[in-house]
Structure 1
Amino acid sequence: MHAIELATTRVVTMRPEDSLHHGAQLMQKHLVGCVVVARPDESGPIPVGVLTDRDLCRVGLAGGADVEKITVEAVMSRPLVTCPQEATLAEVIGIMRGSGLRRLPVVESQGRLVGIISANDVIVAITQLLQQLTEVLVIEPSLRDHLVALEYARDISEDAAMGGDAP
């Protein structure tokens, strides 16, 4: 399973020069906890930072900032940590764990934004893999009966070899 398969490809973006207020409005409108700050490029947006709901609270609300005048670039989370689209689930977890981030922009080889992965996306993927593993490990009843019979036969053979009475 690769990052691009886990990622949400509909990513809310904004420009670095946009206001904090605009970022808050985007989060509210799209019901998301972060907006990827990106500079436009003819081949697709290039991420330069992330504005999170936590950034808004820390700087905008708790700091008493004028959210209309402060740009996103002034408060966005830095340094930007991204995830290559071909990263495996284990690599995504490693990046999140190593950076302490719960959301990662996913980029293709040229650095263009192709999606975003949240910690919730990772949890869903792990849950699906565990479900698949559980399905593989569940033994069919007929096979289980066969295994019980083999175990019983082995026990009888061991008892007989040790001089015990077979039932």
Structure 2
Amino acid sequence: MRVGEIMALYVEFIPAEVPVSEAAELMGELDVGALPVGTAEDLQGVVTDRDILYRVVARGLNGAEVTVGAIATRPVIGCGEEDSLQDAMNLMAAHHIRRLAVRDDGGRVIGWLTLGDVARHLLVESGSVQTVLRDLTEGHGTEAAPEARPVQVR
């Protein structure tokens, strides 16, 4: 499986000069935990909900006065769309991160791969998980289940 097969193709970038408070609002609207800072051609960093929490809120700073560029995490770790999903997962694990910028051969960001994307893919592709869930929801496989017995409480 290749990264390009499951990556998100739509990436919402945020300019570095935008206040953190606006970034937090946009994250809420998009229901995401991070935003890439800059543009597809010039990725300057990534700002995460944790960056906002630890670098702004915990320090008592005003999110309307601090820019995302000032707190963005750098460098942004990335991969290519032709990289294997296993290599991407190894990269995430090695760097203790949950998301990767997916770049083309020229370095332009063409997608985003998150740990959530990987988890969803692995769950959907797992036939055994699908079988168990189907059996549970459709009542299959319950014929051999032991009969329920009442429990006495003293």
Are residues 1:124 and 2:120 paired? yes
**Correspondence for 2:4:** 4
Runs of 4+ in 1 over 6 A off after TM superposition: none
Question: Please, which runs of 5 or more residues in structure 1 have no aligned partner?
Answer: 136-167
Percent of pairs identical after alignment?
Answer: 28
User: Is the CA contact (8 Å cut-off) linking 1:12 and 1:26 kept in structure 2?
Assistant: no
Corresponding residue number in structure 1 for 2:101: 105
Residue 9 of structure 1 deviates from its aligned partner by 1.3
* Root-mean-square deviation (Å): 2.0
1:46 matched to which residue of 2? 42
Q: Distance in 1 between matches of 2:60 and 2:4?
A: 38
Quote how far apart the aligned CAs of 1:35 are: 0.5
Structure 2 equivalent of residue 17 of structure 1: 17
In structure 2, distance between residues paired with 1:131 and 1:99: 30
1:31 corresponds to which residue? 31
The number of residues matched between the two structures is: 131
| Per-residue Cα deviation, 1:41-87 (whole angstroms, up to 9, x for no partner) | xxx44322111111111122111112112111111112211121111
State whether structure 2 residue 92 is matched by structure 1 residue 79. Answer: no
Give, as a single letter, the amino acid of the residue that structure 1 aligns with 2:120: V
Spell out, residue by residue over 1:102-159, the C-alpha distance to the aligned partner (whole angstroms, 9 max, x if none).
1111111111111111111111222234328x99xxxxxxxxxxxxxxxxxxxxxxxx
Consecutive unaligned residues in structure 2, runs of 5 or more = 132-154
1:70 to 62, 66, 89: 66
CA drift at 1:37: 0.7
Letter matched to residue 53 of structure 1? D
Write the distance in 2 (CA, Å) between the matches of 1:3 and 1:38: 22
The structure with more radius of gyration: 1
Instruction: Provide the C-alpha distance between the structure 1 equivalents of 2:44 and 2:103, rounded to a whole number of angstroms.
Output: 11
The normalised TM-score by structure 1 is 0.71
Aligned to 1:164: none
